[in-house]
Structure 1
Amino acid sequence: MKRKPSEQEGTPSKRAPRQDPVSCELCRRKKLKCNRQQPCSSCVTRQLPCSYGASVSSSNISHDQPADSTRDTKAISDESRVPTANIVVARSDGQISRDRNESVMTADWLEKIVLGDRVPTGMRATRRGLNEPSKADVKSPGQAVAGNPLSISWTASSENPATVQLPSFLPKKAEAMTLFQYYNKYIDYLYHIILPDRVKEQIDAIYQAIKDQEQLNLNHLALLFSIIASSLFLQLSIESSVHAEACSREYIFLTGAALMQSNYSAYPTIEGLQAMLIVAHNLSNTNCHPSVRAVFVHGAIVSQAKSLMLHCIDSPQFEKKADADMMEVELKRRLWWDLASYDWLLGFLSGPQENTYLIHPDHMNVQRLANIDDTIPDSKEEHSLPTSTPTKMSYSLERLKLAEVCREIVDAIAYENLRGREVSYDKILELDRKLRQAYDFPAFFRLDSVSRHQYASLYHHRPAIAWQRCLLHQAYHSRLCRLHRQYLIRGARDPTYSYSHVVCLQSARKVLEIKRIMDDDEPTFMPPSSVVWSVMHHVFMAAVILLMDVCFNWDDILADKRKEEVLDACRMLSKAQQSSSTVREGINAMMEVLQKHWKVSSSKQSAVASSPVINSMEMGNLARDLSPTTESQTADLKPSLTDLPSSAMDGTGETLEDIWTEMLDSSGNLSFDTPDWTGLLTELTNATVSY
């Protein structure tokens, strides 16, 4: 039946003809999204002429920014501009479980949360992302100016790393240089593995190549992306760890994509290795996209360094030419020793790499680091300055000394640890002696009042040295504490191990003292030390050591003074919670686990107290039962989140102090029938942490 004409009115009989293209010629050719302005944002970013062709009249070009524009081209301020990330983050939360009967279980668990961007995956999924942190009171130089954010609505990691158009994700040159300067001032002093003047020339070359429409050096591009990732993560972590994680994820992906497109695995370069090391040092490569994750695995970095023959720079078969660039050779030594130090330090930390390392000292021939800045003196024969002269490499030299001792510790105790045997206490004392021998710093790295006054002017002109001084002392005291902590409780009751008990307490107190120096002394840490999770990790570890000692000696004559000492450390953590969302999430995650197991142990002890007469054998069985072995056994003991105070996870200083006070007040009810806190702390080792 035919339809009436009136019913067909307004219904087109066929598709309207296709309109002329409205994107500019560059965006059409490169298949980029054009915002249709004159000039468009893509051409402005690349500093290229923007042409729409004769077929498109100027009246067809919209000068209004569309809602779905992919890039905002507003200029950043002179200090910096930090992206307010609207990136969709796709995460996969992995879980690992470790079952070890050691007395160091609390510390092992805490050491697994070393980087801030690992913390959210160590928290329950129902808690992640629920409480978006408010704007922090503490701001670092280079932080975004309110009202002038760079709105990021693109997701690079959704594309194929082998074909993604890398130049399209470059920031404007002014932005890139600002982030590079931020990296030089606040990040590079820890791992000085670049030559700033050389990298600046490489960044200039990148943008010049874009302007001239020439081919880019993808390894230089990877290095720039890694620097941007590090700078943005540190800046954004102050306000929002979610945004910091999202931005770093995108730029790590771009770093990996640039390396893949350059065929870096087959043709490695120094710049590519620098990019990999920057990601490994400053970011969590486990958070990056799976398509590029393998690029940043520690073993892959070591393999690429060996492909560059860095492990045999000074072997006779590789004689250096008379006209060789000696600073280039020294840079290669820096990269190798930085990687070796990193490898050996990892061997004495909890995780899958514990008790092992990849670089053996007998399988390399590389001269020691020269104590110089970034230029070779006129005398090339002996260009290294005395260690008493502060340089950019002074910190790296001391870090290498610590790493070598950590390697010796692994060599000495790995055999017993991997077989579940107790290490001889005489061996522990010998390793303690080696650590203390390495704890002999140049005068400008010492913390005594005389040295601090003597080098006050040096710290004012070179604040990085003052910061390195504090970080070095924290690192040494943390390792000393780790070496002895399995004897902390045992040493309080057995004079044979009393030295370890004293060392643990002294080291914990020293870590807290160093944190006070960071906060109170000049020059002030920038960014503040309270926003750096690795620093606050040491503080939390020290607080737990002191807490354990108070709980074991709860009836000591100095118990009240020790409780106040613990609460002082708790107040440091409370202050840090208010300074950084990343630190807040880390502390909340650890407090949730710690408080939960504290209550479990208390309920177990209450059951013991209410039971009839229990003989020694039954008490021993009960002590072993304090460690849940099956999921069904654990289910009845675990308090739910509703059992905790509603504000236990909100990061307020008062609540955190209340929780620690409650634990201190209930310490007399805890059971310490075994030499260690195995019963209370076993499940802490099995906490859900993503690697």
Structure 2
Amino acid sequence: MPKDTANPIPRQRPVSCRLCRTRKLRCSRESPCSNCVARRVRCELEDAVLPARVLVPSQATSVASPRNNGGTSTSDPDLVERIRKLEQIVERQQRLTSDHSPRTTSHASDIGSSSDGTQGQSHAFEELHVTSPLYSQNETRGVPTDEHLDKDVAWLESIYSGHVNLSGNKIPTNPVVFRSCPVQHIASAQTYITHNANSFGSSPELIRCVWLPQYAEAKILVQKYVDVIDHVHHVIHTPSIMSVVDEVYGCLSQQGQVKPGSIMLLLGIFASSTHSWVHVDAERGLFEKPEVANNQSPLWIKALEDVLDIAHRTAEVSTEGIQGIIISFFTLINFEGYSRRCRALYYNGLLLARELGLHCLDHPVNAARANTAQTEMGRRVWWYLVASDWLISMVSGVPQFEEVEPHSCLHRGFAARFEGVARGIYQCHPRQMVTRKPLNINDEDIVDGMSRVEQPLSQPTDMTYSLLRIKLAEISRHITDRTPLVMGFEGGYNTGPSHDVVMDIDTEIQTLINEDLPSWTSMPAAEIVSIYKISPSKAAHIAQQGYMFRSLLYAQRCKLHFPFYNRGFKDATFATSRDVCLQSARLIIQTEMNIEYMNLRYSVRYKFIGLLMSVFMSSLVLLMDLCHNRSSSRREKQRVEISDALGILEAARHESEVAARFLDSLVLVLRKHKVSPTGQRDSDITKPMFNPDTRFHGDLTTDTSLRSASGCNGDNINMVDGEELSSYFNDIAQSFEQGDAESFDWDSIFSGLKSSFV
């Protein structure tokens, strides 16, 4: 009899569970079956049919309805298959919940208690079931909510955004150890030490060793920084800095684990203190000669870079670490310029600051911590980075200049490029930060739970200079915003803002001078003590800050008008730019000479590249003025101004390699192009009178030009070939009086200098 193929019988499922089949027992075909329940073992029944009691009323109705409609019976294969899949999903969810819920607490404690990260990384895969909200109690019931879905998405995003480290120990990290020795021995100490491996037959391991000075020596270096350098870039909390020294050396003495941020802060301070070590510091008793200390500064910066390289890959760098990066950046730029290495250090600090959330300290989610000391220090650190970013975007390169007369040697000279890598670009946009500016208060007023009451800028505090610097940086950002990066000129580079934009920005600078520039910026220290009732040492710092800010302000204005300076001698349209640029250059020199006259000369001022570059630019502007006005009645005053400018570089050449490079390059290039002296130096020079109320558009007389009070007038300063610099440049001034500005190949002269302005 043929088989009935119209209604094939479906393949039967296994009758018994695995245990019953193995032991030849009669299985109840329920999950779990009675035999497995009696023996307390897990029932493995494929395609189990659960008792009818697990079905909800809706399911029972759906099964019975086909029979009532005359359709197929309840054994319909499709219907049974759908029910079976639903039962499997419920069973799987229940099994996962029972397997993972007891392990959640133990895994979290293991990962949280991991000291070196190894144990936490080994459990990275298991965290998938623990930290993900995918396995919450609500979702085991099959009802996921929008909140849980959002948590799932956020957790998945953390995987590829780097917040969860899935690489484990695949990327090796070089260890670093810290030891102390006398500061005189650090230069010759070994930077790597040998560590014997534990396993038999393995080769020894080289470990980076960072040598620190002894405890008493470290305190001297930190005190040197507080006394001389801190007021220039105030990013640390001075009253608590010695506690950082105690903490670090306490860990070293107990052979404990030190915090990377604290170590980086001390390394930055050591680098700054040794770089600024001068002859007057001999009384501190650490170094026999300043050169010995100066040579150690690069070693400290290298040590900080090594610690940073390891710390930012294995741990979170704290605010103290970013403070150390800022101090090292300031030190490095002073003896190396805005080099690639210096840029890398700065951008590392900016990246780590964002990682810490310093750019959003005043976001509403951080409202509970808004008035803490840590948050206020974070504001100081963040805004120092922001102000530096904006200043660099404007002053990292002298813009190239447009040619009006293509055949003019003079205009071709000013078309020479002094390009900077970061010119026209900044990283910190105001719309991408939610951090208020720091308060104008002293360090002693920074405590947890403090109010946000601050002093006006007319009242000098520890932060007033930094806040003025931020105002100047905002003007630099406005210049960058109004200067498109690509203008389509020669080489596709930006030629700088238009003259209309320059005049608009100049109005902002003039407003800053008239309305926001405090009177104390031009006061001597004694007057500051009398008016503001502060200590003489702090008054000296404030007076220095005032003159430093004025120099920065004048240099900013001089540089702003510099592209139109030369054209102003022939085109009346640019005459205002010519006058403002020239007057700003004179005020830069006047400010530096007033420091000598008022006995404000601080020993490390020649270590700051900002001062040296301002003076160098002023020298170029004054030389050009002498070229064009050789028949002017002020020619003797012009010679005195140039002599003063170059005298500052002469005095600085023995304390700053940057100043020596500036001066030597100018001399060599002028000699190369046969700019030879034709006369003798006139030593009849009038003594200046100090006028603290001088402004940009005021009258500039020879009474404001001062000779060097330190005796560095050039008569005993020798160049490489032995000629006297002051005499050389004064004789060149005479040759400029008698010559023609068009006779000099300014294109080659300025291109040969190969100088970039920070």
User: TM-score under structure 2 normalisation?
Assistant: 0.59
> Who is 1:481 aligned against?
558
| Worse-matched range after superposition: 492-501 or 372-381 | 372-381
Contact kept, 8 Å, 1:276 with 1:296, in 2: the verdict is: no
> Who is 1:435 aligned against?
509
> Who is 2:428 aligned against?
359
Contact kept, 8 Å, 2:606 with 2:655, in 1: the verdict is: no
- Give 1:478 shift: 0.3
Deviations, residues 441-486 of structure 1 (Å, cap 9, x unaligned): 1222235999779648647342111110000000000000000112
Q: Distance in 2 between matches of 1:171 and 1:380?
A: 36
Q: Indicate whether 1:328 and 2:396 are aligned.
A: no
Contact kept, 8 Å, 1:519 with 1:529, in 2: the verdict is: no
- Give 1:499 shift: 1.1
| Worse-matched range after superposition: 595-604 or 309-318 | 595-604
- Give 1:280 shift: 0.9
Compared CA separation, residues 469 and 294, structure 1 to 2 (3 A) = closer
Of the three residues 517, 521, 526, the one matched with 2:598 is 521
Q: Distance in 1 between matches of 2:569 and 2:466?
A: 37
**3-state DSSP of counterpart to 1:479:** helix
Q: Distance in 2 between matches of 1:484 and 1:538?
A: 14
Q: Distance in 2 between matches of 1:209 and 1:669?
A: 70
Contact kept, 8 Å, 2:567 with 2:574, in 1: the verdict is: yes
Contact kept, 8 Å, 1:237 with 1:243, in 2: the verdict is: no
Q: Indicate whether 1:665 and 2:734 are aligned.
A: yes
**3-state DSSP of counterpart to 2:368:** coil
> Who is 1:315 aligned against?
363
Q: Distance in 2 between matches of 1:174 and 1:544?
A: 47
Deviations, residues 241-299 of structure 1 (Å, cap 9, x unaligned): 864553112111221222334345752211111111111122249969x9x95995322
Q: Distance in 1 between matches of 2:334 and 2:748?
A: 32
In structure 2, give the amino acid aligned to 1:304. Answer: L
In structure 2, give the amino acid aligned to 1:299. Answer: Y
Q: Indicate whether 1:589 and 2:661 are aligned.
A: yes
Q: Indicate whether 1:396 and 2:470 are aligned.
A: no
Q: Indicate whether 1:536 and 2:604 are aligned.
A: no
Mapping for residues 207-606 of structure 1, pairs under 5 Å: 207-235=249-277, 243=292, 246-263=295-312, 267-284=316-333, 296-321=344-369, 326-349=372-395, 350=397, 351-374=420-443, 375-376=445-446, 380-415=450-485, 416=487, 419-421=493-495, 423-439=497-513, 440-447=516-523, 455=531, 458=534, 460-462=536-538, 463-522=540-599, 524-527=600-603, 529-530=605-606, 532-577=608-653, 580-582=654-656, 585-602=657-674
Q: Distance in 1 between matches of 2:222 and 2:613?
A: 27
> Higher Cα Rg: structure 1 or 2?
2
Q: Distance in 2 between matches of 1:153 and 1:591?
A: 33
In structure 2, give the amino acid aligned to 1:153. Answer: S
Q: Distance in 2 between matches of 1:370 and 1:512?
A: 32
- Give 1:237 shift: 8.9
Q: Distance in 2 between matches of 1:472 and 1:409?
A: 19
- Among all aligned residue pairs of Structure 1 and Structure 2, give the percentage whose two residues are the same amino acid: 25
Of the three residues 725, 747, 751, the one matched with 1:683 is 751
Q: Distance in 2 between matches of 1:442 and 1:690?
A: 27
Q: Distance in 2 between matches of 1:312 and 1:401?
A: 20
Compared CA separation, residues 364 and 663, structure 1 to 2 (3 A) = same
| Worse-matched range after superposition: 655-664 or 479-488 | 655-664
**3-state DSSP of counterpart to 2:277:** helix
Q: Distance in 2 between matches of 1:456 and 1:197?
A: 21
- Give 1:316 shift: 1.9
Q: Distance in 1 between matches of 2:218 and 2:546?
A: 30
Give the length in aligned residue pairs. 496
Q: Distance in 2 between matches of 1:365 and 1:548?
A: 46
Deviations, residues 114-154 of structure 1 (Å, cap 9, x unaligned): xxxxxxxxxxxxxxxxxxxxxxxxxxxxxxxxxxx667422
Compared CA separation, residues 552 and 419, structure 1 to 2 (3 A) = same
In structure 1, give the amino acid aligned to 2:299. Answer: E
Deviations, residues 82-138 of structure 1 (Å, cap 9, x unaligned): x6xxxxxxxxxxxxxxxxxxxxxxxxxxxxxxxxxxxxxxxxxxxxxxxxxxxxxxx
Q: Distance in 2 between matches of 1:329 and 1:378?
A: 9
Q: Distance in 1 between matches of 2:497 and 2:463?
A: 35
Contact kept, 8 Å, 1:344 with 1:403, in 2: the verdict is: yes
Contact kept, 8 Å, 1:341 with 1:404, in 2: the verdict is: yes
In structure 1, give the amino acid aligned to 2:238. Answer: P
Contact kept, 8 Å, 1:206 with 1:220, in 2: the verdict is: yes
| Worse-matched range after superposition: 210-219 or 237-246 | 237-246
**3-state DSSP of counterpart to 2:316:** coil
- Give 1:509 shift: 1.5
- Give 1:325 shift: 6.2
Q: Distance in 2 between matches of 1:574 and 1:353?
A: 30
More relative contact order, 1 or 2 (CA 8 Å, 6+ apart):
1
Compared CA separation, residues 414 and 155, structure 1 to 2 (3 A) = farther
Contact kept, 8 Å, 1:588 with 1:651, in 2: the verdict is: no
Q: Distance in 2 between matches of 1:400 and 1:690?
A: 19
> Who is 1:3 aligned against?
none
Q: Distance in 2 between matches of 1:425 and 1:670?
A: 30
In structure 2, give the amino acid aligned to 1:232. Answer: T
> Who is 1:649 aligned against?
719
Compared CA separation, residues 424 and 255, structure 1 to 2 (3 A) = closer
Q: Distance in 1 between matches of 2:294 and 2:529?
A: 40
Deviations, residues 419-459 of structure 1 (Å, cap 9, x unaligned): 45564322111010011222331222235999779648647
Q: Distance in 2 between matches of 1:179 and 1:319?
A: 37
Q: Distance in 2 between matches of 1:295 and 1:425?
A: 30
> Who is 1:115 aligned against?
none
**3-state DSSP of counterpart to 1:319:** helix
Contact kept, 8 Å, 1:459 with 1:466, in 2: the verdict is: no
User: TM-score under structure 1 normalisation?
Assistant: 0.64
Compared CA separation, residues 670 and 596, structure 1 to 2 (3 A) = farther
| Worse-matched range after superposition: 386-395 or 479-488 | 386-395
Contact kept, 8 Å, 1:347 with 1:357, in 2: the verdict is: yes
- Give 1:204 shift: 0.3
- Give 1:587 shift: 3.9
Q: Distance in 1 between matches of 2:373 and 2:449?
A: 13
Deviations, residues 282-326 of structure 1 (Å, cap 9, x unaligned): 2249969x9x959953222211111111111111233325xx761
Mapping for residues 614-633 of structure 1, pairs under 5 Å: none
> Who is 2:128 aligned against?
none
Of the three residues 156, 164, 168, the one matched with 2:191 is 156
Unmatched 5+ stretches in structure 1: 1-44, 47-70, 74-82, 84-148, 605-645
Q: Distance in 2 between matches of 1:526 and 1:414?
A: 40
Compared CA separation, residues 538 and 286, structure 1 to 2 (3 A) = closer
Mapping for residues 176-187 of structure 1, pairs under 5 Å: 176-187=218-229
In structure 2, give the amino acid aligned to 1:230. Answer: S
Compared CA separation, residues 647 and 317, structure 1 to 2 (3 A) = closer
Contact kept, 8 Å, 2:353 with 2:359, in 1: the verdict is: yes
Of the three residues 244, 248, 263, the one matched with 1:206 is 248
| Worse-matched range after superposition: 278-287 or 149-158 | 149-158
Contact kept, 8 Å, 1:156 with 1:250, in 2: the verdict is: no
Q: Distance in 2 between matches of 1:295 and 1:352?
A: 9
RMSD of the alignment, in Å?
3.9
